[in-house]
Structure 1
């Protein structure tokens, strides 16, 4: 059984290490390096922020939301980030984290979650679909990759969205 709990500042080294592992794949983000904790923390909503733990209490993954805009009208919209440690991938942990993030976002009053996923990352696209996200379209050649196996190539990003069925939209 996977144990989840809220992310705390003491998780920073593990969270940033897992983020760096994801970055190294070249299929997770345009970012080329994990930020320091201060910048990571400033770029995420206060809640929900989750970590998954192994049987010994070690962090195996994390999930958090970033604001999509500073404008108040977008206060109920968050952009999803889910990262799983290399050693824990392929076991369904990402889906567990994402579903818990969805549930936590609704408890916080968010009505829309967004995700931008590299088109080649079919496992992540499938995971988001399993958690109620729909494909909105593809942003072709959104950015030029600066690192990893696709360095120098323009990347297509699949835009996905999940509208809450719990938090009402009038």
Structure 2
């Protein structure tokens, strides 16, 4: 595959939404049951430099973003990762390409910790994150409901390479 990565734009929304809806339909990707109706809603809390899409040719085949976990200043360098791959390109290295680029970009933007909350049944996503040096922190038992069923989340985190001594948020 010949992959190209860039920042997501409003013009990508139709393809981003398609990929997100495909993930939602699996019941393995998110507690959400519908995607936002606009790009602005989808990207509202995401870091703009860490909201990326990957293309093969002119086709968007995946997206990822980092969202701050809190508005509190002490958590300014901690972000939650979301990553989704087009169903036709899963298992072809798109997710790994996306996550590696997101890690690099988030490092440049001053994030010292990335975290991911993943359903335990989503073994491919857990494997992808562990492959990229995320470690399992624990299980958040019955953290939320999806269609009336209580679900657990595996909480994973990764420390970025910038070093805590270089982080300063004012």
| Fold in common (TM above 0.5) | yes
For structure 1, the residue ranges without an aligned partner over 5 or more in a row are: 147-151
Match of 2:40 among 25, 32, 38: 38
Separation in 2 of the partners of 1:44 and 1:62?
A: 12
Q: Tell me, what secondary structure is at the counterpart of 1:46?
A: strand
Q: Tell me, what secondary structure is at the counterpart of 2:74?
A: helix
How big is each residue's C-alpha offset from its partner over 1:44-87, in whole Å with a ceiling of 9 and x where there is no partner? 111111111122x1111001111100111111111000000111
- Which residue number corresponds to residue 106 of structure 1? 107
Moved over 4 A (4+): none
- Which residue number corresponds to residue 53 of structure 2? 51
Task: Give the drift of 1:153.
Answer: 2.3
Match of 2:155 among 152, 156, 159: 159
**TM-score, reference length from structure 1:** 0.92
Moved more, 40-49 or 94-103: 40-49
- Which residue number corresponds to residue 64 of structure 1? 65
- Which residue number corresponds to residue 168 of structure 2? none
Task: Give the drift of 1:144.
Answer: 1.6
Q: Tell me, what secondary structure is at the counterpart of 1:48?
A: strand
Which runs of structure 2 are paired with 1:75-154 in the superposition (5 Å)? 75-146=76-147, 152-154=148-150
Structure having the higher strand fraction is 2
For structure 2, the residue ranges without an aligned partner over 5 or more in a row are: 166-170
- Which residue number corresponds to residue 26 of structure 1? 27
Separation in 2 of the partners of 1:51 and 1:169?
A: 28
Task: Give the drift of 1:43.
Answer: 2.3
